[in-house]
Amino acid sequence: MKSFTYERVDTPAAATAAFARTPGARFIAGGTNLLDLMKLEIETPSHLIDVSRLKLDTIEPTSDGGLRIGAMVRNTDLAADARIRRDYGLVSRALVAGASGQLRNKATTAGNLLQRTRCPYFYDTNQPCNKRQPGSGCAAIGGFSRLHAVVGASEACIATHPSDMAVAMQALDATVETVDKAGKARRIALADFYRAPGSTPHLETALAPGELITAVTLPKPVGGTHIYHKVRDRASYAFALVSVGVVVQPDGSGRVALGGVGYKPWRVKAADAELPRGAKAVTSALLAGAKTSHENAYKLPLVERTLAGVLAQAKG
Amino acid sequence: MKFDTPATENPIDQLKVVGKPTSRIEGPLKTSGTAPYAYERHDAVPNQAYGFIVGSAIAKGRIASIDLAEAKAAPGVLAIVTAASAGTLGKGDFNTARLLGGPEIQHYHQAIAIVVAESFEQARAAAGLVRVRYTRDKGNFDLASSLDGAIKPPAFFGTEPDSSFGDFDAAFASAPVKLDEHYTTPDHSHAMMEPHASIASWDGDKLTLWTSNQMIAWSVGDVAKTLGIPRENVRLVSPYIGGGFGGKLFVRADAILAALGAKAAGRPVKVALPRPLIANNTTHRPATIQRIRLGATPDGKLTSIGHESWSGDLKGGGPETAVGQTRLLYAAPHRMTAMRLAVLDLPEGNAMRAPGEAPGLMALEIAIDEMAEKLGMDPVAFRILNDTQVDPEKPERKFSQRQLNECLRIGADKFGWASRNPKPGLTRDGRWLVGTGVAAAFRNNLNEKSAARVRLDRAGRVIVETDMTDIGTGSYTIIAQTAAEMLGVPLDRVEVRLGDSLFPVSAGSGGQWGANSSTAGVYAACAKLRTAIAQKLGLDPAKAAFANGKVSAGGKSIALARAAADGEVVAEDMMEYGDLAQTFQQSTFGAHFVEAAVDAATGEIRLRRMLAVCAAGRILNPKAARSQVIGAMTMGAGAALMEELAVDKRFGFFVNHDLAGYEVPVHADIPSQDVIFLDEVDPTTSPMKAKGVGELGICGVAAAVANAVYHATGIRVRNYPVTLDKLIDRLPAIA
């Protein structure tokens, strides 16, 4: 770990101003991922701006009947919120499928979205990794790739995004609210938030340097049956091999998003339309153009079968 | 004391303390965080500095150059030691690769430098500034493609590579029912909670290491040999160990580099291996490829058993002895086993809990399940039918005790085996496919000589000193129970001091020999102390009875403490062994039963019930023994379902080298576990009449799980771990 300086800020404006003053700074909230990355010198910020005390830790109704979740709302609190549990069960179920109680107590809503891949080559600084060290290559391609992406990957990177919560939020059409260095607020649909790796896998989101997430908003509830099935080798405390989040309406329509298959929570609007025709049709639409290695080819049938099981469960 | 004839009645047989379920006497220290582990010995010596180890970034080749300038200039740095500055180092007898690499690199993450600084953070930051250029050599990292070049290794810890009996080839060729299958087991990491850690302090030319080590005397020798100093100048202290599983049988880089760093810095230095370094820097259980051939008559008698195993290791290393149990487990008149060893440039392979038997039974006990099915027989009945009460390769040699059939019968009864549908893939519970599996457990018993010193102090307290270790197994407690039984005092009158090379040399912890061997050593010392006490009190040592804090003989009864009224009474002795282990085959047996459920859609496997029935001699402490067995069952579940060091065959290293990537079971993976110990005493093993259970508990578990998954799904997986990607294409269609 490199030496770094630290300051705590009280307002978003102070946070972005601090960033503008200190090149090489990073925001830190729960720190459940960033500190690990700093210990391994994968992240080497010269300055940490602690945003964990910003008054962004409430969940409020929005004018259009949705919820605005403050960026600093802890994963535990979000999963347990009565409105989330009643109207956005997918979010609650996805959250408790992730990490551990201790980590969820620390981890924040914004931090969850910004956590970085768990590709083991990304974590080993002896290995080439375009995400960690642009231009160095990708050791995962042709290597141990059982956990890696099957859609949306590139010649430069096949890492997946590890978040469960983001899968649920993607299915529910969440929007990310930010404020930039100049104090200007903007809204980014979660669908547009993650950048495809292309030839620049180190650039992961639509955020500009110093831009701070202030909230995530969920539109008004869509009803239906919410199921999140996270598939993994051990029963807890593991990242998804694949995960399937669905909202299914009584008429069989609905929406579906996948985790563990790509650089972002994977949702294809055209696939939603296939839901009444069943898992095979949906999976074909979701994973069209999938590219697999012999180690991760299982993810294609696994997605289809998991979805089939989930849809059967939704029917009751 | 020499143990060379079967034990007769002795004070242990009173079973007032021994044999009682007893909580760990050091348990409160551990659960309250007050048992100091090696890295926490802040009290041991002042002025400790911190060392951080740099691991090689390549698997094979040479260091072309190391630039230390930036690191040396970093804040707080006191010293940096590399092979170039360490002076001449030897290599320990128990190490295959050197613990400080350079310029030659033998494996990935081999230590190449230690950076010593005032703080841990400074040492770690400076370690990141060590600039190394390497010249890579081509290495051999793939076992499967190395079989042709594999050689017949020399005998390994007394195990010959090959065995044969009868005429296997002819018998197998003519067998009416045959099985010929290949199985694979992957590399496993010990993944103990406490990382390898040491504090080193020099006093002139004398070195003290507070460390985490299972085998004190072996390791004193290897520290001395590696550093080129007399063994009298080395003291090891290792009273608490946060798990070892074989990974701490040997001296590792933390100890040697702490010593080198302390020498260079002129201060005590503490070092812990960072978790991401452990999988590749230290040892692991090597992967195997196994071929098993079984021939049987239609009525279910095995006529031929053939078991071959291939494994790999660094040059100079040894094989995984995966065929050992096959020489002893089932009857058959025609037999062959063979082990072959390939040279691989992966990190060093070595012992992990039940080396040999654990991976060997992972394969053999699937094969037995498959053969039972071919024969249309129940797998419990098939095993019982092929039991042997003698060493099948030396029929004149009997097992000292062998209750495998009883384990199977009692287990089947307790588990409800009779209600099992013999056809696989037919039992459904909602979305789950449900199955049950069984496997035999087998692990040889080993006795190792072991010494102890026992003191009776003026207050009537008994103090036991031995360099035996407690790696979480309960050594402290069974040793205290032994001394309490022998001297007729309550448990709380006994103090046990372990893990210090100043104490008499014990068997140490390994090969499940620790419990019987170390307590037998304490028995010998206590027997000597009883004589000394009786003489001191003027009683006939041959007739003296020790009970309730008193010594009684010839109508007289005297308080034990009286013997120490004018000073401590001390006795030291060692238990040594004659040839009873050659006359009799001493082994431990068990049966594992598992119920598993497989999600019919996703192939996710979740265990529902586990039962182990064990026959392992006298159980000295049923509570500690049960803990050993349920821990081993958990580890077996990991081997069955998730544990695999993923090999990068291009760069030659284990990729998933942390506890996020190398999955071991969590609480949610482990269902109801039950353990039954059969009532057994084995007078051929020692006056304790005990054997080991800590490794027996893992033997066969993974196969029982794999067999349960087969029974649930009808899908036979022969390549561990049994993960859903190996099932997914063959699961039933979803409605």
pLDDT tens readout for residues A195-229: 999 999 999 999 999 999 999 999 999 999 999 99
pLDDT at B508 over 80: yes
Among candidate residues B252, B270, B288, the one where a domain is terminated = B270
Among candidate residues B528, B563, B581, the one where a domain is terminated = B581
In a domain, B347, yes or no: no
In a domain, B336, yes or no: no
Please judge whether A308 and B601 are an interchain contact, meaning their C-beta atoms are less than 8 angstroms apart: yes
Residue B337, pLDDT score: 98
B31 and B43 in a single domain? The answer is no
Cβ–Cβ < 8 Å for A122, A162: no
Residue B5, pLDDT score: 98
Q: How far apart are the first and last CA of chain B?
A: 71
Structure tokens at B512: 């499940």
pLDDT at A23 over 90: no
Exposure string over B621-643, b if 16+ CB within 10 A, otherwise e: beebbbbbbbbbbbbbbbbbbbb
Query: What is the share, in percent, of chain A residues with pLDDT greater than 70?
Result: 100
Among candidate residues B270, B288, B303, the one where a domain is terminated = B270
d(CA B69, nearest CA chain A) in Å: 17
Nearest CB to B669; choose among A146, A235, A312: A235
Residues 125-164 of A with CB under 8 A from B: 126-127, 139, 142-144, 146
Cβ–Cβ < 8 Å for B600, B662: no
| B513 φ/ψ sector (left φ>0, alpha ψ -120 to 50, else beta) | alpha
Q: pLDDT tens digits for B230-251?
A: 999 999 999 999 999 999 999 9
Residues of B in contact with A279 (CB under 8 A): 734
Residue B317, pLDDT score: 97
**C-alpha to C-alpha distance for B497 and B266, rounded to whole angstroms:** 30
In a domain, B257, yes or no: yes
Mean pLDDT of the residues in chain A: 97
More confident residue, B518 or B157: B518
Cβ–Cβ < 8 Å for B19, B485: no
**Closest B-chain CA to A296:** B725
The chain B residues in contact with chain A (CB within 8 A) are 57-58, 75, 121, 124-125, 128, 276, 431, 599-604, 606, 641-642, 646-648, 650-651, 655-658, 660-661, 663, 665-669, 721, 723-725, 728-729, 731, 734-735
How many CB atoms sit inside 10 A of residue A158's CB? 29
B687 and B630 in a single domain? The answer is yes
Cβ–Cβ < 8 Å for A149, A292: no
Q: How far apart are the first and last CA of chain A?
A: 51
For residues B428-446, average pLDDT: 97
In a domain, B144, yes or no: no
Cβ–Cβ < 8 Å for A188, A174: no
B58 and B117 in a single domain? The answer is yes
β partners of residue B585: B399
For residues A62-68, average pLDDT: 98
Distances (CA, A) of B476 to A307, B468, B491, B496, B625: 53, 9, 11, 6, 13
In a domain, B437, yes or no: yes
Q: Position A206: which residue type?
A: A
- Give the count of alpha carbons within 13 A of B284, CB side only: 31
B466 and B496 in a single domain? The answer is yes
B465 and B548 in a single domain? The answer is yes
CATH number, position B127: 3.90.1170.50
For residues A271-293, average pLDDT: 97
In a domain, B319, yes or no: no
In a domain, B175, yes or no: no
Please judge whether B655 and A146 are an interchain contact, meaning their C-beta atoms are less than 8 angstroms apart: no
For residue B721, whether the previous peptide bond is cis, meaning omega lies within 30 degrees of 0, is yes
For residues B132-145, average pLDDT: 98
B371 and B502 in a single domain? The answer is no
Residue B159, pLDDT score: 87
Residue A1, pLDDT score: 87
Number of domains in chain B: 3
B656 Cβ partners below 8 Å, 6+ apart? Answer: A120, A144, B279, B644, B645, B646, B662
Cβ–Cβ < 8 Å for B548, B488: yes
B698 and B676 in a single domain? The answer is yes
Work out the pLDDT band at B598, boundaries 50, 70, 90: very high
Residue B735, pLDDT score: 66
Exposure string over B209-218, b if 16+ CB within 10 A, otherwise e: bbbbbbbbbb
pLDDT at B10 over 70: yes
For residue B355, whether the previous peptide bond is cis, meaning omega lies within 30 degrees of 0, is no
* Whole-number CA gyration radius for chain A: 19
**C-alpha to C-alpha distance for A98 and A118, rounded to whole angstroms:** 13
Please judge whether A231 and B604 are an interchain contact, meaning their C-beta atoms are less than 8 angstroms apart: yes
B459 and B590 in a single domain? The answer is no
More confident residue, B158 or B289: B289
Residue A84, pLDDT score: 98
Structure tokens at B309: 């195993």
For residues A145-152, average pLDDT: 98
B545 and B411 in a single domain? The answer is no
Residues of A in contact with B734 (CB under 8 A): 279, 305, 308-309, 312
User: What single string gives the DSSP state of each residue in B311-329?
Assistant: EEESTT-----TTGGGGTS
Q: pLDDT tens digits for B180-220?
A: 999 999 999 999 999 999 999 999 999 999 999 999 999 99
d(CA A231, nearest CA chain B) in Å: 7
B480 and B571 in a single domain? The answer is yes
In a domain, B345, yes or no: no
Catalytic residues of B, by residue number, are: 695
Closest CA to B483 of B503, B460, B501: B460
**C-alpha to C-alpha distance for B245 and A194, rounded to whole angstroms:** 43
Does A102 touch chain B if contact means CB atoms closer than 8 Å? no
B385 and B482 in a single domain? The answer is no
Q: Position B612: which residue type?
A: A
CA quadruple B678, B681, B684, B685: dihedral positive or negative?
Answer: positive
Cβ–Cβ < 8 Å for B380, B412: yes
Exposure string over B369-383, b if 16+ CB within 10 A, otherwise e: bbbbbbbebbbbbbb
Strand order across the beta sheet in which B288-296 lies = B162-165, B334-343, B302-313, B288-296, B177-185
For residues B606-623, average pLDDT: 98
Residues of A in contact with B74 (CB under 8 A): none
Question: Does the ipTM exceed 0.85?
Answer: yes
B569 Cβ partners below 8 Å, 6+ apart? Answer: B455, B456, B529, B532, B533, B536, B563
For residues A91-117, average pLDDT: 98
B466 and B381 in a single domain? The answer is no
Residue A181, pLDDT score: 87
Please judge whether B734 and A279 are an interchain contact, meaning their C-beta atoms are less than 8 angstroms apart: yes
Task: Show the DSSP H helices in A97-240 as ranges.
Answer: 101-106, 109-114, 120-123, 165-171
- H or E segment and range at residue B177: strand B177-185
For residues A142-162, average pLDDT: 98
DSSP B287: P
Model pTM score:
0.98
For residues A88-116, average pLDDT: 98
Residues of B in contact with A120 (CB under 8 A): 646, 655-658, 661
**C-alpha to C-alpha distance for B496 and B521, rounded to whole angstroms:** 13
Domain holding B718, by residue range, is 359-441+586-730
Nearest CB to A235; choose among B57, B606, B650: B606
CATH number, position B454: 3.30.365.10
Please judge whether B656 and A234 are an interchain contact, meaning their C-beta atoms are less than 8 angstroms apart: no
